[in-house]
Structure formats: C-alpha cells, structure tokens
Amino acid sequence: MKSNLVRLILSSRLLSSFVALAALFFPVAENVSWMSHPGWMMGPLFVVITTLLVNNNRDLQPGRELAILISLTIALWVGAHIVHSEQVIGSAAPGFWVFVFSLGLSVWSCTSWLSSLKVTSRVADRLNRLLIPGLFGVWLLILWEFLVVGFGIPHVLLPAPSVIQEAFASSTDVLMADFRQTVIRAVIPGFIIGNAVGFVVALLADKIPFLRRGLLPVGNLVSAIPIVGIAPIMVMWFGFDWQSKAAVVVIMTFFPMLVNVIAGLSESGNMELDLMRSYGATYWQGFFKLRLPNAMPFIFNALKINSTLALIGAIVAEFFGTPIVGMGFRISTEVGRMNIEMVWASIAVAAMAGSIFYGLLAVLERRVTFWHSSVRKAHS
C-alpha cells in the first residue's frame, strides 16, 4: 500500500509544481533570496505553467505542444541566467538545487506526455520521435551546465558545455581539419574496405565449409586483441599518415561483418531452401531472392556495430603516430597542454560524426528491411 502511494506521488505531474514553489522558501545563494531578484522567480513560475499545461490528454494538439515547449524553454533559460550570475557561480544554495530538481521533474513529465500522444500523421510522428530524445538530450546538457557552474568545478576537471561551445566556435578550422583527416581519410575508406572484404570472405566461407570452421575461431582470436596492440604495428607497417589508421579500421570491421554475414546466411530454413530447389532455382537465385534478404538484418547489425568501432579504432590509432592533425592527435596533444576545453570539443565532433553515421545506417536499414518483423514492430 505504501509503495503504491509513493509511486502515485512520484508519477504525479503536480510534483514538479510543488517542488518549484518550495524552492522559493530557500536561498538561491549565500545571503541571496528569490525576492532580491524578482526576475528569477519566473523560473519556478514557468515550471508550474508547464506542469499545468501537461495534462492527461493523449490526443495531438500542436498548439498545446508549442505552448509547453515555450514555457519549458523559458524556465530553462531563466535557470541558465541564474546559475551564471556572479552571486551564484560556485556557491549555489539549496533554493537553486530544489528549482533544478523541479525542472528535471518537469522535463520528465513533458517527455512522458509526448511519448504517450496518439499521432496519426506520418510527419508529426517523425517530429515527435525526434522531439523526445532531443528534449532529453538538451536537458542533460543544461543539467551538466548547472552542476559544473553551480558547484564551481574547475575547467581542468570538467568544463561546462558553454565553455566547450566557445572552444568549438574559436577552433572550427582546426576541428574541421581533424575531421577530414580522421573521418574522411581514415574511417570511411577503412569502413568500406573492411566490410566489403568481410562480406566477400563470408560468401566464400559459406561455400567452403572448412574455411568457415577455420575462420571463425581466428576471428574470435583477433577480435580479442586490444586496439593498443594492433595500432603500433600498423603504424610501423603503413607509416604515420592515414593509411595506418585505415588499416586498423579494416581489421576492426572485418570480423564483425564476417561473423554476422555467416550467421545471416544460415538463417534461411531447410524448408524454404527445398522449396526454392523444387522450383528449379539455381544457387545464386536462391541466394539473392531468399538467403541475402534474410541476412540483411544481420548485415546491418554488423554495419552499425562497425560504425562505432571504426571511429574508435582510427582515433586510438592516432595516439601512436600521425601527422600534426587528426582527432586522436588533437586529444592527446591538448591533454598534455591541459587545454581540456579543446579535448571536449574534439570529443563532441567525434560523437556527432558517430551519431550521424549510425543514424544514416539506421535509416537505410529501415528502407531496406521494411518487411522484417523488428522494423514493423517499431512502427506499430
């Protein structure tokens, strides 16, 4: 009974309003109250407004969604203004943290409400699917800003997102040069070559049983070798430029593709294969019309795994020798200079590149495997 009551209270959308109003009874910083800065009181006020706008209505109402987002945006903006004021930087008091907690509850309520909406339009459904993770991601960045600035954490330990953004804006040309060296010249060629060779060898292993039995144990062995063991060898073999990094990417992406393609080609059942043979289908007709389509989910699974492995492999390989450009070079160099803001800016570029790469593969997967049960369940 008690657990149900606690769950009811925590799930209530009114909780954020109560918490926001309670924040007004605590100081924002040492000897600084909410009443001394009346404009700051707009933060808790708009948290309450956001909560009141979010109700149990499950039907899509664009006007209501827009009003909720505007109200929540104002509350977040006021919070960012408060934490960057001279009185609060590094000395935020309980009143501010209670307000931040109410903001978190408000974001939680908004994302929960958005995810429960009944959307009939395809465009609206896609926008809603983007809005929910976007809102959650923005909240994580703002919470990061609140914690770092409010507690006065030194930049050398953890810079705030605003400081990282300044470093990003002031070094765009350097970061773009690193992006071209690492992603365009190393990751993409290595990714294409590694996956293509893995796919071709998997076809050979499918035709030659002893090759399959011999390659899979070797693949497990090579996959267990750490990148820091492979990268120096590739640098010695192929030099300090992008070729050695592409070679590391090829090695890292080859075996995941090999294993997944072999598993995917084995997915077709004997009954389906016998039916194809009864129609007089050749090996390649059965391959292209039955076995390859059934293997597509496995192939895309390998591509998505390799999209992250390729970027990690290229960046780590640059730690062991590279021209004076590249994401890995930038991270290792700026760490030595204690320029942590630039390190995080490089990490942000790598994260965005990896996310876009993965997202494009996910979109392509839905286009190609729209018939598969996993894709149909995701859209239902």
Write the CA distances from 342 to 109, 308, 317, 327, integer angstroms.
35, 22, 19, 11
| pLDDT tens digits along 38-81 | 888 898 898 888 888 776 556 556 677 788 888 989 999 999 89
Domain boundary among 153, 188, 203: 153
Residue 269 has pLDDT above 70, yes or no: no
DSSP letter, residue 32: B
- Residues 197-221, mean pLDDT to the nearest whole number: 79
How confident is the model at residue 43, as a pLDDT? 87
Check whether residue 321 and residue 364 sit in a common domain.
yes
Greatest mean pLDDT range, 50-59, 280-289, 291-300: 291-300
- Among the listed ranges 108-112, 278-282, 301-305, 361-365, which one has the minimum average pLDDT value? 278-282
Check whether residue 177 and residue 129 sit in a common domain.
no
Q: String of b and e for 319-328 (b: at least 16 CB within 10 Å)? A: bbbbeebbbb
How confident is the model at residue 359, as a pLDDT? 85
Check whether residue 281 and residue 133 sit in a common domain.
no
CA dihedral (204, 208, 213, 218) positive or negative: negative
In a domain, 12, yes or no: yes
Check whether residue 214 and residue 301 sit in a common domain.
yes
Number of domains into which the chain is organized: 2
In a domain, 314, yes or no: yes
How confident is the model at residue 142, as a pLDDT? 92
How confident is the model at residue 15, as a pLDDT? 76
In a domain, 163, yes or no: no
- Among the listed ranges 28-42, 172-186, 190-204, which one has the minimum average pLDDT value? 28-42
DSSP letter, residue 92: B
In a domain, 158, yes or no: no
Greatest mean pLDDT range, 223-227, 270-274, 336-340: 336-340
CA distance 292 to 267: 10
Check whether residue 128 and residue 229 sit in a common domain.
no
Check whether residue 107 and residue 221 sit in a common domain.
no
Residue 193 has pLDDT above 90, yes or no: yes
Residue 276, domain CATH? 1.10.3720.10
- Asked whether the whole model's pTM tops 0.75, one would answer yes
- Helical (H) or strand (E) element with 162: helix 161-170
Q: Over the chain, what is the mean pLDDT?
A: 81
Check whether residue 182 and residue 145 sit in a common domain.
no
How confident is the model at residue 1, as a pLDDT? 46
Distance of CA 364 to the CA centre of its chain: 17
CA distance 72 to 243: 49
Residue 378 has pLDDT above 60, yes or no: no
In a domain, 70, yes or no: yes
Residue 7 has pLDDT above 60, yes or no: no
Residue 281 has pLDDT above 80, yes or no: no
CA distance 246 to 21: 56
> Residue 55: which domain range?
2-153
Helix (H, G, I), strand (E, B) or coil at 118: strand
- Residues 131-158, mean pLDDT to the nearest whole number: 88
In a domain, 372, yes or no: yes
In a domain, 233, yes or no: yes
Check whether residue 177 and residue 139 sit in a common domain.
no
How confident is the model at residue 176, as a pLDDT? 92
**How does residue 8 score in pLDDT terms, banded at 50, 70 and 90?**
very low
99 or 52, higher pLDDT: 99
- Residues 196-213, mean pLDDT to the nearest whole number: 83
- Residues 318-326, mean pLDDT to the nearest whole number: 80
CA distance 56 to 110: 11
Check whether residue 310 and residue 184 sit in a common domain.
yes
pLDDT-above-70 percentage for the chain = 86
Residue 340 has pLDDT above 80, yes or no: yes
In a domain, 159, yes or no: no
Check whether residue 32 and residue 137 sit in a common domain.
yes
Q: What residues contact 58, with CB distance under 8 A and at least 6 apart?
A: 116, 117, 118
- Among the listed ranges 61-70, 128-137, 149-158, 346-355, which one has the minimum average pLDDT value? 61-70
Check whether residue 91 and residue 220 sit in a common domain.
no
Tokens 């007709």, residue located: 285
Residue 10 has pLDDT above 50, yes or no: no
Domain boundary among 153, 180, 213: 153
CB contact at 8 A, 256 and 308? no
How confident is the model at residue 59, as a pLDDT? 59
Own/partner long-range contacts of 10-14 (Cβ < 8 Å, ≥24 apart): 13/51, 13/54, 13/55, 13/109, 13/113, 14/51
E strand spans, the chain: none
Check whether residue 107 and residue 199 sit in a common domain.
no
| pLDDT tens digits along 210-267 | 777 777 777 777 777 777 777 788 878 887 788 888 888 888 888 889 888 888 887 7
How confident is the model at residue 140, as a pLDDT? 92
CA distance 113 to 118: 10
How confident is the model at residue 379, as a pLDDT? 52
How confident is the model at residue 88, as a pLDDT? 83
Residue 191 has pLDDT above 80, yes or no: yes
